[in-house]
Amino acid sequence: MKNRFIASLLLGTALTFAAGSIASAGDKTVKIGALSDQSGLYSDLGGPGSTLAAQMAIEDSGLTAKGWKIDVISGDHQNKPDIGTSIARQWFDVEKVDVIVDVPNSGVALAVNNVVKEKNGVYINSGAATSDLTNAQCSPNTVHWTYDTYMLAHTTGQALVKAGGTSWFFLTADYAFGAALERDTTAVVTANGGKVIGGVKHPLNTSDFSSFLLQAQSSNAKVIGLANAGGDTTNSIKQAAEFGLTKGGQKLAALLLFLTDVKSIGLDIAQGLNFTETFYWDMNDQTRAFSDRFAKRMKNSAPPTMVQAGVYAGLAHYFKALEALGENPHDGIKIVDKMKSIPTEDALFGKGEIQPNGRTIHTAYLFEVKKPSESKAPWDLYKLVGSVPGDQAFTPLDKSACALLKK
């Protein structure tokens, strides 16, 4: 009896050891690549802040304490698809990166999308806008976290048409993003009984918009849709004020506007603009707490933009999936499937889900830029005017052209 007791004790110990060694045999190393525009016109809304967000996601996940080894490296795609893809390739082949995050600039984002699919990595895009990432060009390796052109069109665009903005003129950035945003917004405008009476395509990173604005002015369109981003949008808005477009009764639709853009235009000129984001630092105690921690570590003490917040939240969800898997299988499709099977919930974006096409669904918020007199702190810039539930803001699955849905 006693012998059997000892034997079973030994067996149990052995099993425990075996179990332990099986667990430790599971690969718990993860390498994150934060690919962004680190120095150009989108670097303030993504860039180094996105790398910081990734770093904070690692620290807050608590995985390091559980034996995981997680690193983050960053790269500058310079808004050039060829540079973006060659960095991505090198990261997968040489650096053994598991997941690429951020990637603003739709042109680069779509190109990198193909590389990640080919290498079976994980792609959590936060910075790019094009809705093609989860439509025609969707991939089983991709999660598109923060926002997209469909959402922007169906929130800001729709609200403006319903408020009487029935004729539109577009100022469009001449690349994948601008085209997608114009296309999605045009669909909303016409579906709501409005019409598009003209538009110009301007090169990316234009500093002088006066020519284009004069054309918009003489079109007599009620709404001038800005299908551009970053520095292009801030310059358009500033110069539209200078040329008296808004005083003449035309309304500017800043279809995509980020916190750093509003800050850079200044409240004097930006006040009253309506636009949509899925995250703002001053929403609730949780977002404020995160943003405080974030701003303390940013060089210019800026709170996170929605793109940077999306990098954080997307990675936090990725870590949840890894923890559920118990190890890093280094199999992109498997991890993304796991991410899709867990409902999303985090301090920054609230509750949501990742749809089978890779689109993350969460609430979108309509904001208005505050008047200078209403702003109490340097980054106190928005007031909330409404919200749209995720299932209404983003592409409904039956309208998505994603091949993954047709299985």
Q: What distance in Å separates the CA atoms of residue 44 and residue 231, rounded to the nearest whole number?
A: 10
Judge whether 41 and 78 are in contact, CB under 8 Å: no
Residue 378 DSSP SS3: coil
Residue selected from 82, 242, 292, 380 as contacting another protein according to rule CB under 8 A:
242
Rounded least distance, CB 116 to another protein, Å: 26
Whose Cβ is closer to another protein: residue 40's or residue 314's?
40
Q: How far is the CB of 216 from another protein (least distance, A)?
A: 11
- φ, ψ (nearest 5 deg) of residue 144: -105, 110
Cβ proximity to another protein, 192 vs 239, nearer residue = 239
DSSP per-residue letters across 116-133:
HHHHT-EEEE-S---GGG
Q: Which of 165, 161, 151 is nearest to 246 (CA)?
A: 165
- Give the residue with the Cβ less far from another protein, 39 or 286: 39
Q: How many residues bind another protein (CB under 8 A)?
A: 45
107 binds another protein (CB under 8 A): no
78, 167, 239, 363: which one binds another protein (CB under 8 A): 239
Cβ contact 286:348 at 8 Å: yes
- Whole-angstrom distance, CA of residue 388 vs CA of residue 30: 35
Amino acid at residue number 1: M
List alpha helices for 171-258, DSSP H: 176-191, 210-218, 230-242
Tell which one of 5, 66, 248, 249 touches another protein (CB under 8 A).
Answer: 248
CA–CA gap between residue 171 and residue 191 (Å, rounded): 20
Q: How many CA atoms lie less than 13 Å away from 271 in the CB half-sphere?
A: 9
CB 124 within 8 A of CB 318: yes
Residue 341 beta carbon to another protein: minimum distance, rounded to whole angstroms: 38
Give me the 196-225 binding string for another protein, x by CB under 8 A, dash otherwise: ----xxxx-xxxx-xxx-xx-xx-------
Q: In sequence order, which residues have a C-beta less than 8 Å from that of residue 89 and are 6 or more positions away?
A: 115, 119
CB of residue 380 vs another protein: minimum separation in angstroms? 16
Comparing CB distances to another protein, the nearer of 299 and 376 is 299
Q: Which of 56, 99, 269, 315 binds another protein (CB under 8 A)?
A: 269
Distance of closest approach, residue 218 Cβ to another protein, in angstroms? 6
Which position among 155, 234, 278, 344 is part of the footprint of another protein (CB under 8 A)? Answer: 234
> Could you tell me the smallest distance in angstroms from the CB atom of residue 400 to another protein?
30
One residue of 4, 300, 376, 407 binding another protein per CB under 8 A:
300
Candidates 33, 40, 194, 314; binder of another protein (CB under 8 A) is 40
Subset of residues 165 to 184 that bind another protein, contact rule: CB under 8 A? 174
Q: Which is nearer to another protein, 47 or 194 (CB)?
A: 47
The first and second tokens of residue 248, run together, are 């003449």
Question: Which span sits near another protein by CB under 8 A: 8-16, 182-190, 227-235, 380-388?
Answer: 227-235
Q: Determine which residue in the list 261, 280, 294, 388 makes contact with another protein, applying CB under 8 A.
A: 261
Stretch that binds another protein, among 79-87, 266-274, 333-341, 369-377 (CB under 8 A): 266-274
- Using DSSP, state whether 76 is helix, strand or coil: strand
* Cβ atoms within 10 Å of 59's Cβ, excluding its own: 12
CB 201 within 8 A of CB 225: no
Do residues 335 and 322 touch, judged by C-beta distance below 8 A? yes
Task: Tell me whether residue 70 or residue 259 sits nearer to another protein (CB atom).
Answer: 259
Instruction: Tell me: does residue 302 bind another protein (CB under 8 A).
Output: yes
- The Cα 341–Cα 353 span in angstroms is 8
For residues 298 and 404, which CB has a smaller minimum distance to another protein in the complex? 298
The half-sphere exposure of 106 on its side-chain side, counting CA atoms within 13 A, is 24
State the Cα–Cα distance between residues 303 and 172, nearest whole angstrom. 28
Of 231, 304, 352, 358, the one binding another protein (CB under 8 A) is: 231
- Strand ranges for 103-141 from DSSP E: 122-125
Binding interface with another protein (CB under 8 A) = 39-45, 47, 174, 200-203, 205-208, 210-212, 214-215, 217-218, 230-231, 234-235, 238-239, 242-244, 248, 260-261, 263-266, 268-269, 299-300, 302
